[in-house]
Amino acid sequence: MKIAMVSERASPSASLGDQSRHVAELSAALTRAGHDITVYTRRDAPGRRSGPTEDGYRIVPIPAGPARPLETEDVLPHLGTFAAFLDDAWSAEPPDLVHAHFWMSGITAVTAAKAMGIPITQTFHTLAAEGRTDAATAERVRLERLVGRNVARIVAMSTVEADELARLGVPRARISVVPGGVDLAVFTATGVTQPRARGYRLVSAGELCEDSGFDITITALRALPDTELVIAGRAGTRDTISAALLEHAARHGVADRVSLIGDVPDTDLPALLRSADVVVCTPRAKAAGGTPVEAMACGVPVVAAGVGDLTDTVVDGVTGTLVPADRPDNVAEAVRELLLDNALREAYGIAGSDRARCRYSWDRVAADTFRAYEHVLPEPARPALQPE
């Protein structure tokens, strides 16, 4: 089957960020299953050309705006150009199905594909922040609702997201829940481990932004003596929070036990995760990216806020501990219990590794995604997915 992936703001060739990784790994897994995959993305660097990747799928960088990374709000003025390119490409050679990633991709896909009768599936990755009433958020909610009501199928990444989409007015019958995956050849429970400076180590990783809640874990560190916190933070095009996090650590008297090490490539991240006694994920809302699953695949227990996809990923009392959002005292208590109980940490680690292998392989994610596609494909366009 010929599938067009649309990811206007996250090129899989950039290998930076959870959406980029998701699109790359899903495209590779679907290619392994025998499908013809083309990823359409905005050209974010000079010299990027269309062509096949090592994993067999094809990338088409679309000239829409300057050839450099842009913040989300700076991409918006170029969506018309992006959609026009898709319209021309698909008029000449239509795909069997379009899978759009993020709400802006959904807008361009609906604009280009709906009139042609091409079925569209949508993965939002993130939805507009709850509880915010600013004009930009309200407009994004309106556009997400518009996309949700105009695509044939939505592939939500968690049951919580499915509930949010239903509140936006998307019929539940048009929603499939398929989580992101993990590269089980890279993230393993055995292998090199980074050295550490203290008796205990916590690791947190993700996007450097306020919603990631790294400050919550820093606050919890006050009640955890002889424990260091390493934060692998991805800043994107602008880092607006690192200085504030370091100031926050200084105010709470733990600056000497907090390290911000910037973005860590996938090749080095497993060694960092394996060096942790506990991986801590404390976002204030929504998703925490792939870190919890990557930690579980590395055999490390997770303490996580009970928000977003974390309530699906972390099995409370089995692979880790879920705590209320924005409660440093609960984080400290949960971490302390694990640090003082080697057998419990080991049991959580083993269970997490098993769960990652059974539920979160990219081949499993691709198979589940294809089942979502089958809901909207006409019968003649439904080739069987090759066995795993």
pLDDT, residue 388, reads 46
What class does CATH assign to 200-359?
alpha beta
Q: 10: which 2 tokens? A: 């996250």
For the chain, give every domain's residue range.
2-181+361-381, 200-359
Q: 322: which 2 tokens? A: 């879920």
pLDDT, residue 132, reads 66
pLDDT, residue 318, reads 97
Q: How far apart are CA 368 and CA 152, in angstroms?
A: 16
Kindly report, residue by residue over 209-221, the tens digit of the pLDDT.
888 899 999 999 9
From the list 249, 309, 313, 312, the residue with the least C-alpha distance to 285 is 309
Q: How far apart are CA 326 and CA 215, in angstroms?
A: 9
Decide: helix, strand or coil at residue 49. Answer: coil
pLDDT, residue 387, reads 45
Q: 250: which 2 tokens? A: 């200084």
- In what helix (H) or strand (E) does residue 208 lie, and over which residues does it extend? none
CB 26 within 8 Å of CB 119: no
Is it true that 2-181+361-381 and 200-359 share their CATH fold?
yes
pLDDT, residue 133, reads 66
- Distance from CA of residue 46 to its chain's centroid? 26
The DSSP result for 149-195, as a single string, is HHSSEEEESSHHHHHHHHHTT--GGGEEE----B-TTTS-SSS----
pLDDT, residue 73, reads 83
Q: 243: which 2 tokens? A: 């200085």
Q: How far apart are CA 134 and CA 123, in angstroms?
A: 24
- 325 DSSP 8-state letter: T
- In what helix (H) or strand (E) does residue 201 lie, and over which residues does it extend? strand 200-207
For domain 2-181+361-381, is the CATH number 3.40.50.10950?
no
Decide: helix, strand or coil at residue 37. Answer: strand
Q: What angle do CA 70, 72, 75 make, to 5 degrees?
A: 65
What residues contact residue 278 under an 8 Å CB cut-off, 6+ apart?
202, 203, 300, 301, 302, 303, 335, 338, 339, 345
Ranges of residues in the chain with a pLDDT under 70 are 14-16, 129-133, 235-238, 286-288, 379-388
Q: 23: which 2 tokens? A: 């699109």
CB 293 within 8 Å of CB 312: no
Kindly report, residue by residue over 95-109, the tens digit of the pLDDT.
999 999 999 999 999
Q: How far apart are CA 378 and CA 385, in angstroms?
A: 15
